[in-house]
Amino acid sequence: MQFIHLANEGVKSLSPYQAGKPIEELERELGISHIIKLASNENPFGFPESAKKAIVQHLDELTRYPDANGFTLKKVISEKFGVAMNQITLGNGSNDLLELFAHTFVSGKDEIIYSQYAFIVYPLVTQAINAVAREIPAKNWGHDLEGFLKAINDNTKLIYLANPNNPTGNFLTHQEIADFLAKVPPQVLVVLDEAYTEFTAENERVDAFALAKIYPNLIISRSLSKAYGLAGLRIGYAVSHPDVADLLNRVRQPFNCNALALTAAVAVMQDDEFVKKVAENNRLEMARYEAFCYAQGLEFIPSKGNFITIDFKRPAGAIYEALLREGVIVRPIAGYGMPNHLRISIGLPHENDRFFTALLKVLAK
Protein backbone atom coordinates (compact mmCIF):
# COMPACT_ATOMS: atom_id res chain seq x y z
CA MET A 1 0.00 0.00 0.00
CA GLN A 2 1.39 3.38 -1.05
CA PHE A 3 2.22 5.87 1.73
CA ILE A 4 1.77 3.32 4.55
CA HIS A 5 5.42 3.85 5.48
CA LEU A 6 4.56 7.48 6.19
CA ALA A 7 1.88 6.62 8.76
CA ASN A 8 2.75 6.49 12.44
CA GLU A 9 3.35 3.00 13.90
CA GLY A 10 -0.15 2.83 15.41
CA VAL A 11 -1.94 3.84 12.23
CA LYS A 12 -0.08 1.20 10.19
CA SER A 13 -2.04 -1.61 11.85
CA LEU A 14 -5.27 0.30 12.45
CA SER A 15 -8.56 -1.22 11.25
CA PRO A 16 -11.41 1.20 10.53
CA TYR A 17 -14.45 1.41 12.83
CA GLN A 18 -17.19 -0.99 11.72
CA ALA A 19 -20.54 0.78 11.82
CA GLY A 20 -23.94 -0.95 11.88
CA LYS A 21 -25.27 -1.88 8.44
CA PRO A 22 -27.43 0.93 7.01
CA ILE A 23 -31.02 0.03 6.03
CA GLU A 24 -30.53 1.32 2.46
CA GLU A 25 -27.51 -0.95 1.98
CA LEU A 26 -29.49 -4.05 2.92
CA GLU A 27 -32.35 -2.91 0.68
CA ARG A 28 -29.92 -2.63 -2.23
CA GLU A 29 -28.25 -5.96 -1.50
CA LEU A 30 -31.33 -8.11 -0.98
CA GLY A 31 -33.99 -6.13 -2.80
CA ILE A 32 -36.29 -6.32 0.23
CA SER A 33 -38.16 -3.60 2.08
CA HIS A 34 -39.69 -3.29 5.58
CA ILE A 35 -36.29 -3.68 7.13
CA ILE A 36 -35.79 -2.95 10.80
CA LYS A 37 -32.46 -1.83 12.17
CA LEU A 38 -31.58 -2.73 15.73
CA ALA A 39 -27.85 -2.36 15.22
CA SER A 40 -26.53 1.03 16.30
CA ASN A 41 -28.26 1.77 19.62
CA GLU A 42 -30.19 4.59 17.99
CA ASN A 43 -33.39 6.08 19.33
CA PRO A 44 -36.36 4.06 18.04
CA PHE A 45 -38.79 6.97 18.41
CA GLY A 46 -37.13 8.88 15.59
CA PHE A 47 -36.16 12.49 15.50
CA PRO A 48 -37.80 14.44 18.36
CA GLU A 49 -40.51 16.92 17.32
CA SER A 50 -39.05 19.59 19.62
CA ALA A 51 -35.72 19.39 17.77
CA LYS A 52 -37.42 19.38 14.38
CA LYS A 53 -39.32 22.57 15.19
CA ALA A 54 -36.16 24.31 16.44
CA ILE A 55 -34.19 23.34 13.35
CA VAL A 56 -36.83 24.61 10.93
CA GLN A 57 -36.78 27.96 12.69
CA HIS A 58 -33.02 28.22 12.27
CA LEU A 59 -32.62 27.16 8.64
CA ASP A 60 -32.16 30.70 7.39
CA GLU A 61 -29.17 31.20 9.68
CA LEU A 62 -27.14 28.45 8.06
CA THR A 63 -25.21 30.91 5.94
CA ARG A 64 -23.41 32.01 9.10
CA TYR A 65 -20.82 30.04 11.07
CA PRO A 66 -22.22 28.41 14.18
CA ASP A 67 -21.55 29.91 17.60
CA ALA A 68 -18.01 28.62 18.19
CA ASN A 69 -18.57 28.62 21.95
CA GLY A 70 -22.02 27.04 21.88
CA PHE A 71 -23.18 29.56 24.48
CA THR A 72 -26.89 28.69 24.50
CA LEU A 73 -26.35 24.94 24.71
CA LYS A 74 -23.76 25.34 27.44
CA LYS A 75 -26.21 27.49 29.36
CA VAL A 76 -28.91 24.82 29.13
CA ILE A 77 -26.47 22.08 30.23
CA SER A 78 -25.16 24.27 33.03
CA GLU A 79 -28.65 24.95 34.41
CA LYS A 80 -29.85 21.38 33.94
CA PHE A 81 -26.98 19.78 35.86
CA GLY A 82 -25.77 22.56 38.15
CA VAL A 83 -22.33 22.81 36.59
CA ALA A 84 -20.48 25.98 35.55
CA MET A 85 -20.41 26.93 31.89
CA ASN A 86 -16.61 26.95 31.91
CA GLN A 87 -16.64 23.26 32.81
CA ILE A 88 -18.32 22.30 29.54
CA THR A 89 -16.76 21.27 26.23
CA LEU A 90 -18.98 20.50 23.24
CA GLY A 91 -18.20 17.82 20.68
CA ASN A 92 -19.25 16.68 17.23
CA GLY A 93 -20.79 13.62 18.86
CA SER A 94 -19.16 12.33 22.04
CA ASN A 95 -16.80 10.38 19.79
CA ASP A 96 -15.17 13.69 18.93
CA LEU A 97 -14.66 14.34 22.64
CA LEU A 98 -13.30 10.87 23.38
CA GLU A 99 -10.65 11.57 20.77
CA LEU A 100 -10.08 15.13 21.94
CA PHE A 101 -9.22 13.95 25.47
CA ALA A 102 -6.41 11.78 24.11
CA HIS A 103 -5.18 14.37 21.60
CA THR A 104 -5.01 17.02 24.31
CA PHE A 105 -3.30 15.05 27.04
CA VAL A 106 -1.55 11.99 25.64
CA SER A 107 1.74 11.83 23.72
CA GLY A 108 4.99 9.90 23.44
CA LYS A 109 5.24 6.98 25.84
CA ASP A 110 2.06 7.86 27.71
CA GLU A 111 -0.28 5.02 28.53
CA ILE A 112 -4.04 4.78 28.22
CA ILE A 113 -5.98 2.21 30.24
CA TYR A 114 -9.30 0.70 29.22
CA SER A 115 -11.09 -2.61 29.61
CA GLN A 116 -11.25 -5.61 27.34
CA TYR A 117 -14.67 -5.51 25.59
CA ALA A 118 -14.98 -1.74 26.25
CA PHE A 119 -16.18 0.68 23.59
CA ILE A 120 -13.97 0.17 20.53
CA VAL A 121 -13.18 3.83 20.05
CA TYR A 122 -10.82 3.71 23.08
CA PRO A 123 -8.37 1.28 21.44
CA LEU A 124 -8.83 3.00 18.07
CA VAL A 125 -7.91 6.40 19.48
CA THR A 126 -5.00 5.00 21.47
CA GLN A 127 -3.59 3.30 18.40
CA ALA A 128 -4.19 6.28 16.11
CA ILE A 129 -2.05 8.53 18.27
CA ASN A 130 0.49 5.75 18.77
CA ALA A 131 0.13 5.79 22.54
CA VAL A 132 0.66 2.73 24.73
CA ALA A 133 -2.53 0.73 25.30
CA ARG A 134 -3.11 -1.09 28.58
CA GLU A 135 -6.15 -3.28 28.04
CA ILE A 136 -7.32 -4.80 31.32
CA PRO A 137 -8.88 -8.28 31.04
CA ALA A 138 -12.60 -8.06 31.73
CA LYS A 139 -14.30 -9.54 34.79
CA ASN A 140 -17.73 -10.98 33.95
CA TRP A 141 -17.56 -9.00 30.68
CA GLY A 142 -17.15 -5.73 32.63
CA HIS A 143 -14.46 -3.48 34.08
CA ASP A 144 -12.09 -5.01 36.62
CA LEU A 145 -11.31 -1.83 38.52
CA GLU A 146 -8.79 -3.56 40.79
CA GLY A 147 -6.96 -4.57 37.62
CA PHE A 148 -7.07 -0.95 36.44
CA LEU A 149 -5.50 0.27 39.66
CA LYS A 150 -2.72 -2.31 39.43
CA ALA A 151 -1.94 -1.18 35.85
CA ILE A 152 -1.42 2.47 36.75
CA ASN A 153 2.21 3.57 36.58
CA ASP A 154 4.19 6.78 36.08
CA ASN A 155 3.35 6.81 32.36
CA THR A 156 -0.42 6.48 32.82
CA LYS A 157 -2.17 9.58 31.49
CA LEU A 158 -5.75 8.61 30.76
CA ILE A 159 -8.30 6.00 31.79
CA TYR A 160 -11.47 5.33 29.83
CA LEU A 161 -14.47 3.87 31.68
CA ALA A 162 -17.70 3.24 29.78
CA ASN A 163 -20.70 3.18 32.07
CA PRO A 164 -22.90 1.49 30.97
CA ASN A 165 -20.39 -0.14 28.67
CA ASN A 166 -21.05 -0.82 25.01
CA PRO A 167 -21.27 -3.58 23.72
CA THR A 168 -21.77 -5.48 26.99
CA GLY A 169 -24.18 -3.23 28.93
CA ASN A 170 -22.19 -3.74 32.14
CA PHE A 171 -22.60 -1.15 34.84
CA LEU A 172 -20.45 0.22 37.65
CA THR A 173 -22.30 1.68 40.65
CA HIS A 174 -21.72 5.14 42.07
CA GLN A 175 -19.91 3.62 45.04
CA GLU A 176 -17.64 1.50 42.85
CA ILE A 177 -16.63 4.53 40.81
CA ALA A 178 -16.22 6.72 43.89
CA ASP A 179 -13.98 4.09 45.55
CA PHE A 180 -11.97 3.82 42.35
CA LEU A 181 -11.48 7.58 41.98
CA ALA A 182 -10.30 7.78 45.57
CA LYS A 183 -7.40 5.46 44.67
CA VAL A 184 -6.43 6.93 41.29
CA PRO A 185 -3.46 9.35 41.48
CA PRO A 186 -4.64 12.94 40.87
CA GLN A 187 -2.41 13.40 37.79
CA VAL A 188 -4.21 10.58 35.93
CA LEU A 189 -7.31 11.71 34.07
CA VAL A 190 -10.37 9.46 34.28
CA VAL A 191 -12.90 9.69 31.46
CA LEU A 192 -16.32 8.47 32.50
CA ASP A 193 -18.17 7.81 29.25
CA GLU A 194 -21.88 7.98 30.06
CA ALA A 195 -23.33 7.82 26.55
CA TYR A 196 -26.15 5.58 27.83
CA THR A 197 -26.74 6.96 31.30
CA GLU A 198 -30.31 8.12 30.58
CA PHE A 199 -31.36 4.47 30.16
CA THR A 200 -30.28 3.53 33.67
CA ALA A 201 -33.00 3.88 36.33
CA GLU A 202 -32.71 7.27 38.00
CA ASN A 203 -32.16 5.79 41.46
CA GLU A 204 -29.31 3.62 40.16
CA ARG A 205 -27.45 6.23 38.12
CA VAL A 206 -23.98 7.42 39.05
CA ASP A 207 -24.02 11.01 40.29
CA ALA A 208 -21.05 11.90 38.16
CA PHE A 209 -21.42 15.65 38.65
CA ALA A 210 -21.11 15.21 42.42
CA LEU A 211 -17.98 13.13 41.89
CA ALA A 212 -16.51 15.78 39.57
CA LYS A 213 -16.74 18.27 42.47
CA ILE A 214 -14.51 16.01 44.57
CA TYR A 215 -12.16 14.72 41.86
CA PRO A 216 -10.79 17.38 39.48
CA ASN A 217 -9.22 14.63 37.35
CA LEU A 218 -12.67 13.28 36.38
CA ILE A 219 -14.01 14.06 32.90
CA ILE A 220 -17.64 13.17 32.18
CA SER A 221 -18.57 12.47 28.58
CA ARG A 222 -22.20 12.45 27.42
CA SER A 223 -23.94 11.87 24.09
CA LEU A 224 -27.12 13.21 22.54
CA SER A 225 -27.15 10.35 20.02
CA LYS A 226 -28.95 7.82 22.17
CA ALA A 227 -31.78 8.85 24.53
CA TYR A 228 -32.02 12.30 22.92
CA GLY A 229 -32.31 10.95 19.38
CA LEU A 230 -29.80 13.21 17.60
CA ALA A 231 -27.35 10.57 16.28
CA GLY A 232 -27.39 11.94 12.73
CA LEU A 233 -26.67 15.51 13.82
CA ARG A 234 -23.57 14.62 15.90
CA ILE A 235 -23.46 16.35 19.26
CA GLY A 236 -22.14 15.51 22.71
CA TYR A 237 -20.73 17.30 25.73
CA ALA A 238 -18.07 16.87 28.37
CA VAL A 239 -18.05 18.22 31.91
CA SER A 240 -14.70 18.58 33.65
CA HIS A 241 -12.64 20.84 35.86
CA PRO A 242 -12.55 24.32 34.20
CA ASP A 243 -8.77 24.05 33.66
CA VAL A 244 -9.23 20.76 31.82
CA ALA A 245 -12.07 22.28 29.77
CA ASP A 246 -9.83 25.24 28.94
CA LEU A 247 -7.17 22.91 27.53
CA LEU A 248 -9.75 20.87 25.61
CA ASN A 249 -11.16 24.02 24.09
CA ARG A 250 -7.70 25.03 22.87
CA VAL A 251 -7.37 21.80 20.89
CA ARG A 252 -11.00 21.52 19.75
CA GLN A 253 -11.66 22.71 16.21
CA PRO A 254 -13.32 26.16 16.38
CA PHE A 255 -16.57 25.08 14.70
CA ASN A 256 -16.67 21.39 15.61
CA CYS A 257 -20.42 21.52 16.36
CA ASN A 258 -22.70 22.54 13.51
CA ALA A 259 -25.48 25.07 13.92
CA LEU A 260 -28.35 22.61 13.46
CA ALA A 261 -26.91 20.22 16.02
CA LEU A 262 -26.51 23.03 18.55
CA THR A 263 -30.05 24.25 17.95
CA ALA A 264 -31.59 20.78 18.14
CA ALA A 265 -29.62 19.97 21.28
CA VAL A 266 -30.89 23.10 23.04
CA ALA A 267 -34.46 22.05 22.27
CA VAL A 268 -34.22 18.40 23.16
CA MET A 269 -32.26 18.90 26.37
CA GLN A 270 -35.28 20.79 27.62
CA ASP A 271 -37.69 18.16 26.33
CA ASP A 272 -37.86 15.98 29.42
CA GLU A 273 -41.08 14.32 28.23
CA PHE A 274 -39.31 12.90 25.17
CA VAL A 275 -36.43 11.40 27.12
CA LYS A 276 -38.83 10.02 29.74
CA LYS A 277 -40.88 8.28 27.03
CA VAL A 278 -37.73 6.82 25.47
CA ALA A 279 -36.38 5.53 28.79
CA GLU A 280 -39.73 4.02 29.76
CA ASN A 281 -40.04 2.15 26.45
CA ASN A 282 -36.52 0.86 26.97
CA ARG A 283 -37.32 -0.34 30.50
CA LEU A 284 -40.45 -2.21 29.44
CA GLU A 285 -38.96 -3.66 26.27
CA MET A 286 -35.71 -4.68 27.97
CA ALA A 287 -37.85 -6.75 30.35
CA ARG A 288 -39.46 -8.41 27.31
CA TYR A 289 -36.04 -9.24 25.85
CA GLU A 290 -34.92 -10.74 29.14
CA ALA A 291 -38.13 -12.80 29.40
CA PHE A 292 -37.68 -13.94 25.78
CA CYS A 293 -34.10 -15.01 26.43
CA TYR A 294 -35.03 -16.89 29.60
CA ALA A 295 -37.90 -18.63 27.81
CA GLN A 296 -35.66 -19.65 24.91
CA GLY A 297 -32.73 -20.65 27.10
CA LEU A 298 -30.53 -17.94 25.59
CA GLU A 299 -27.76 -16.52 27.75
CA PHE A 300 -27.43 -12.74 27.77
CA ILE A 301 -25.33 -10.14 29.55
CA PRO A 302 -27.59 -8.06 31.85
CA SER A 303 -27.58 -4.55 30.40
CA LYS A 304 -28.26 -1.06 31.74
CA GLY A 305 -28.09 0.43 28.25
CA ASN A 306 -30.51 0.45 25.31
CA PHE A 307 -29.20 -2.83 23.90
CA ILE A 308 -28.79 -6.43 24.93
CA THR A 309 -25.99 -8.80 24.03
CA ILE A 310 -26.89 -12.45 23.55
CA ASP A 311 -24.43 -15.35 23.73
CA PHE A 312 -25.33 -17.98 21.12
CA LYS A 313 -22.55 -20.28 22.34
CA ARG A 314 -21.35 -20.74 18.77
CA PRO A 315 -20.05 -18.36 16.09
CA ALA A 316 -22.97 -15.99 15.57
CA GLY A 317 -22.08 -14.80 12.04
CA ALA A 318 -24.48 -17.23 10.38
CA ILE A 319 -27.32 -16.15 12.69
CA TYR A 320 -26.57 -12.52 11.85
CA GLU A 321 -26.66 -13.27 8.11
CA ALA A 322 -29.90 -15.25 8.43
CA LEU A 323 -31.51 -12.39 10.37
CA LEU A 324 -30.51 -10.01 7.55
CA ARG A 325 -32.40 -12.22 5.12
CA GLU A 326 -35.42 -11.80 7.42
CA GLY A 327 -34.98 -8.03 7.13
CA VAL A 328 -33.62 -7.58 10.65
CA ILE A 329 -30.27 -5.85 11.13
CA VAL A 330 -28.50 -6.46 14.44
CA ARG A 331 -24.82 -6.04 15.32
CA PRO A 332 -22.15 -8.73 15.16
CA ILE A 333 -19.39 -7.97 17.65
CA ALA A 334 -16.64 -10.35 16.60
CA GLY A 335 -14.47 -7.23 16.24
CA TYR A 336 -14.69 -6.89 20.03
CA GLY A 337 -13.43 -10.45 20.46
CA MET A 338 -16.99 -11.68 21.05
CA PRO A 339 -17.68 -13.88 18.00
CA ASN A 340 -20.46 -15.88 19.70
CA HIS A 341 -22.49 -12.80 20.66
CA LEU A 342 -24.85 -10.49 18.82
CA ARG A 343 -25.83 -7.09 20.16
CA ILE A 344 -29.43 -6.04 19.64
CA SER A 345 -30.60 -2.46 20.18
CA ILE A 346 -33.92 -2.24 22.01
CA GLY A 347 -36.54 -0.97 19.58
CA LEU A 348 -40.23 -0.15 19.64
CA PRO A 349 -42.55 -3.03 20.66
CA HIS A 350 -43.40 -3.98 17.06
CA GLU A 351 -39.72 -3.95 16.04
CA ASN A 352 -38.80 -6.17 18.94
CA ASP A 353 -41.64 -8.54 18.00
CA ARG A 354 -40.12 -8.72 14.50
CA PHE A 355 -36.76 -9.62 16.02
CA PHE A 356 -38.23 -12.31 18.30
CA THR A 357 -40.13 -13.91 15.41
CA ALA A 358 -37.14 -13.71 13.04
CA LEU A 359 -34.73 -15.16 15.59
CA LEU A 360 -37.03 -18.07 16.42
CA LYS A 361 -37.36 -18.82 12.71
CA VAL A 362 -33.59 -18.65 12.20
CA LEU A 363 -32.81 -20.82 15.24
CA ALA A 364 -35.40 -23.43 14.21
CA LYS A 365 -33.65 -24.03 10.87
Q: Which is nearer to ligand PLP, 271 or 358 (CB)?
A: 271
Least Cβ distance, residue 221 to ligand PLP (angstroms): 7
Contacts to ligand PLP from residues 185-204, by CB under 6 A: 193, 195
Q: Which is nearer to ligand PLP, 229 or 236 (CB)?
A: 236
* Contact in structure between 17 and 166 (CB atoms under 8 Å): no
> Taking contact as CB under 6 A, which single stretch among the options 73-81, 92-100, 202-210, 278-286 is the one that binds ligand PLP?
92-100
* Contact in structure between 272 and 131 (CB atoms under 8 Å): no
Least Cβ distance, residue 5 to ligand PLP (angstroms): 31
Assess 166 for contact with ligand PLP (CB under 6 A). Answer: yes
Q: How far apart are CA 29 and CA 10, in angstroms?
A: 34
Q: How far apart are CA 58 and CA 245, in angstroms?
A: 28
| Closest of 21, 343, 353 to residue 170, by C-alpha | 343
Strand arrangement of the beta sheet that strand 341-345 belongs to: 299-301, 307-311, 341-345, 331-332
Assess 94 for contact with ligand PLP (CB under 6 A). Answer: yes
When binding is defined by CB under 6 A, the residue of 50, 89, 95, 104 that contacts ligand PLP is 95
When binding is defined by CB under 6 A, the residue of 36, 136, 145, 162 that contacts ligand PLP is 162
Least Cβ distance, residue 195 to ligand PLP (angstroms): 4
Least Cβ distance, residue 94 to ligand PLP (angstroms): 3
Contacts to ligand PLP from residues 232-291, by CB under 6 A: 236
Assess 309 for contact with ligand PLP (CB under 6 A). Answer: no
Assess 93 for contact with ligand PLP (CB under 6 A). Answer: yes
* Contact in structure between 163 and 192 (CB atoms under 8 Å): yes
Q: How far apart are CA 51 and CA 258, in angstroms?
A: 14
Least Cβ distance, residue 337 to ligand PLP (angstroms): 16
Least Cβ distance, residue 149 to ligand PLP (angstroms): 22
When binding is defined by CB under 6 A, the residue of 223, 281, 282, 352 that contacts ligand PLP is 223
Q: Which is nearer to ligand PLP, 88 or 358 (CB)?
A: 88
| Closest of 105, 76, 93 to residue 248, by C-alpha | 105
* Contact in structure between 129 and 140 (CB atoms under 8 Å): no
Binding mask 125-144 vs ligand PLP (x if CB under 6 A, - otherwise)?
Answer: --------------------
When binding is defined by CB under 6 A, the residue of 21, 37, 38, 41 that contacts ligand PLP is 41
> Taking contact as CB under 6 A, which single stretch among the options 3-11, 223-231, 324-332, 333-341 is the one that binds ligand PLP?
223-231
Residues that bind ligand PLP (CB under 6 A): 41, 93-95, 119, 162, 166, 193, 195, 223, 225, 231, 236
